[in-house]
A and B are shown apart, each in its own frame.
Chain A
C-alpha cells in the first residue's frame, strides 16, 4: 500500500485555480521532489496533504486512510505527518529541546524524560548537541532549520513534507541542511519535498515531479526530467533555472 495517494485533487482560491486535478503516489521510502515556478501549486499541494488547506475536490489517502473525509480526526492525521517550513517556524519562547520534544510529550503522550533523552540523542546526532538549552533566535538559520527538521522527525512520521526548506537560508548554510535530508533518505524516510535546489533534486530524488499552473506536467526519474524533458513547459522552466 502506498504511503501517500493523491487522487485528482482540485483547489482554488477565489478565481485562482491553484491545483487542477493533481495525481501523485508515494510508496514507502520514496523521495519525491516537486519542482516548478513560484505559484505552480507546490506549496498548496503540500498544505492540502497536511490539511492546512481543504481540497475542493478529489481525495488524499495516507497509508490507505482517506484524510479528506470530513469525519477524520485532523489532529491525529497531522500527528502522522512531519512538516518543515521555509521559515522554520520554531517556537521562539521554547528552548531547542522543548521545541523538539513538544509533540512527543503533548500529542503522543510520551513521558518527559524519555522524550528528552530521544530529543537530545537526535540533536546530538545532527550536530546540535550544544544548542539544547538555547532559544531558537540565538541560532543561525541553518541550525534553526536543522532543529525544525529534528522536530518534524521526532515522532517518526509516516511521511515528511519539506516545503522549500533551504529557500530562506544563506547559500553557505544550505549544505548543512541538505546533508541532513540525505541522512533521512538513507534512513528510509518517505519524503515529499518542494525545492529550487535542482542539483540536490537530481541527486536525492527517486522521482522528480514538475508542476506548472496547478498541474503535474511531467514526472519521472531525475535523469529523465533533467536530461531529456519532453514537455515544452518543463524545458522552458529548466532552461530558466539552470541558465542554459
Chain B
C-alpha cells in the first residue's frame, strides 16, 4: 500500500485558473437557462392570449372565484386518492413481487404456477384499466359473497390487480439482469434458491429498476383517479360535481394541479434515492 498521510498541498495557479473558468462557465449556463426559459414562457403566453377564444377559455378554465370555492371539496377528494394510492402501492409491491418470483421459477415442478402467473400478467396488461374497474367494481359485489364495501375499496383493488402485472414484469427484468455469477456465489455459500432470491438477487434487481418502478408508481398515482368511475368521491369526482353545478371547468384544472403537486416530489425523491444509491456503491467520476 502506498497511501500515507496526505501532504499539505499548495493549489497551483493552473488549477485556480481552471476553477475560475469552471465557476464562470456554470454561472453563464444558469444565465442562459433562465433567459431561454423566460423567453419561451413569454412566447407561449403571448400566443395563448392572442387566440380568438382566449377570453372564453380564461373564464371557463381559469376562473379564480369558482376555483376558490371548489378547492376544499377537491382537496378532500384528493385525500381519498392518496389513501387509495397508499394501499394500492402496498398491494402492488407484495403481489407484483410474488408474480415476478413465480415467473422466475425454474424447473418443471413449478410449471403450473409459472403458467398461471404468465397468463395473469398477459391478461391484466392487455385489458384496459377502465374495464377492470367496471368488472371488479360492479361484478364482484354482485356475487354477494363479500360484505358491502365502499366503491373506493373495489377501485383500489382493481388498480392493484392491473399495476401488479406491470410491476411484475419490471421486477422480473430486474431479477433476470442480475448476473448468474451472483447466484452461483450465493448458492456456493449454501444459500437455498429462495434465500438467494430474497437476499442476493431481488435486492440487486430492484435497485436497477427503481426508475422504472417509480415511473409506474407515478403513473398509478394519477390512475387512482379512475376509481371515480365507480362512484367514489375522489378529487376527480369532486371536481366533476363542482363542474356540474357551475358549468365551469376550472375545478378540473384545480384537480390536475393537485395531482401534479403530489407527483413532482415523488419523482424528485426517486432521482435522489437513485443518485444516493449509486454514489454509495460505486466510484462515480464526472461522467
Do A and B interact?
Answer: yes
Q: Would you call B188 and A50 a contact (CB within 8 A)?
A: yes
> Bound state CA distance, A112 and B204, in angstroms?
22
- CB-defined contacts of B281 to chain A, threshold 8 Å: 92-93, 135, 137
Q: Would you call B184 and A89 a contact (CB within 8 A)?
A: yes
* A96 close to chain B: CB less than 8 A: no
Q: Would you call B184 and A137 a contact (CB within 8 A)?
A: no
Q: Would you call B189 and A78 a contact (CB within 8 A)?
A: yes
**Contact A91-B187, Cβ < 8 Å, known A75-B192, A106-B199, A135-B280:** no
Q: Would you call A137 and B187 a contact (CB within 8 A)?
A: no
> Bound state CA distance, A155 and B282, in angstroms?
28
- CB-defined contacts of B204 to chain A, threshold 8 Å: 91-93
- CB-defined contacts of B200 to chain A, threshold 8 Å: 91
Main secondary structure of the interface of B (DSSP, over half): helix
**Which residues in chain A, 39-60, are within 8 Å of chain B measured between CB atoms?**
50, 52
Q: What is the size category of the interface that chain B forms with chain A?
A: 20 to 34
> Bound state CA distance, A78 and B186, in angstroms?
10
- CB-defined contacts of A241 to chain B, threshold 8 Å: none
Question: How far does the Cβ of A32 sit from chain B's closest Cβ, in whole Å?
Answer: 19
Question: How far does the Cβ of B2 sit from chain A's closest Cβ, in whole Å?
Answer: 10
* B190 close to chain A: CB less than 8 A: yes
Q: Would you call A79 and B181 a contact (CB within 8 A)?
A: no
> Bound state CA distance, A94 and B83, in angstroms?
34
Q: Would you call B188 and A137 a contact (CB within 8 A)?
A: no
Q: Would you call B280 and A79 a contact (CB within 8 A)?
A: no
* B19 close to chain A: CB less than 8 A: no
Among the listed B182, B185, B191, B207, which residue makes an inter-chain contact with A75, where contact means beta carbons less than 8 Å apart?
B191
Q: Would you call B182 and A89 a contact (CB within 8 A)?
A: yes
List 4 tightest A-B contacts by C-beta distance, closest first.
Answer: A79-B190, A89-B185, A103-B189, A107-B190
Question: How far does the Cβ of B183 sit from chain A's closest Cβ, in whole Å?
Answer: 10
* B5 close to chain A: CB less than 8 A: no
Best-surrounded residue of B182, B185, B204, B283 (most CB of chain A within 10 A): B185
**Contact A91-B188, Cβ < 8 Å, known A102-B199, A106-B195:** no
Q: Would you call B187 and A52 a contact (CB within 8 A)?
A: yes
Q: What is the size category of the interface that chain A forms with chain B?
A: 20 to 34
- CB-defined contacts of B282 to chain A, threshold 8 Å: 137
* A10 close to chain B: CB less than 8 A: no
* A34 close to chain B: CB less than 8 A: no
- CB-defined contacts of B192 to chain A, threshold 8 Å: 75
Best-surrounded residue of B181, B192, B204 (most CB of chain A within 10 A): B192
Among the listed B184, B191, B203, which residue makes an inter-chain contact with A103, where contact means beta carbons less than 8 Å apart?
B191
* A217 close to chain B: CB less than 8 A: no
Q: Which A residues are within 8 Å of any B CB, using their own CB?
A: 50, 52, 75-76, 78-81, 83, 85, 87, 89-93, 102-103, 106-108, 135, 137-138, 151, 155
- CB-defined contacts of B184 to chain A, threshold 8 Å: 52, 85, 89
Q: Would you call B283 and A138 a contact (CB within 8 A)?
A: yes
Q: Would you call A93 and B185 a contact (CB within 8 A)?
A: no
Q: Would you call A91 and B283 a contact (CB within 8 A)?
A: no
- CB-defined contacts of B188 to chain A, threshold 8 Å: 50, 52, 78, 81, 83
Q: List 7 A-B contacts (CB under 8 A).
A: A52-B184, A76-B190, A91-B204, A92-B281, A102-B189, A102-B191, A106-B199
Question: How far does the Cβ of B179 sit from chain A's closest Cβ, in whole Å?
Answer: 9
> Bound state CA distance, A54 and B9, in angstroms?
59
Best-surrounded residue of A50, A79, A89 (most CB of chain B within 10 A): A89
- Per-residue CB contact flags for chain B residues 179-221 toward chain A (1 = under 8 Å, else 0) read 0011011111111100100011001100100000000000000
> Bound state CA distance, A52 and B185, in angstroms?
10
Q: Would you call A151 and B280 a contact (CB within 8 A)?
A: no
Question: How far does the Cβ of A234 sit from chain B's closest Cβ, in whole Å?
Answer: 30
Q: Would you call A107 and B189 a contact (CB within 8 A)?
A: yes
Q: Would you call B190 and A75 a contact (CB within 8 A)?
A: yes
Question: How far does the Cβ of B206 sit from chain A's closest Cβ, in whole Å?
Answer: 9
Q: Would you call B182 and A78 a contact (CB within 8 A)?
A: no
> Bound state CA distance, A32 and B187, in angstroms?
24
> Bound state CA distance, A92 and B186, in angstroms?
12
> Bound state CA distance, A129 and B118, in angstroms?
47
> Residue of A at shortest CB range from B195?
A106
> Residue of B at shortest CB range from A142?
B1
Question: How far does the Cβ of B287 sit from chain A's closest Cβ, in whole Å?
Answer: 16
- CB-defined contacts of B207 to chain A, threshold 8 Å: 93
Q: Would you call B191 and A91 a contact (CB within 8 A)?
A: no
> Bound state CA distance, A87 and B190, in angstroms?
19
> Bound state CA distance, A85 and B181, in angstroms?
9
- CB-defined contacts of B203 to chain A, threshold 8 Å: 93
**Contact A151-B181, Cβ < 8 Å, known A91-B200, A93-B203, A137-B283:** no
> Bound state CA distance, A148 and B175, in angstroms?
23
> Bound state CA distance, A54 and B188, in angstroms?
14
> Residue of A at shortest CB range from B187?
A78
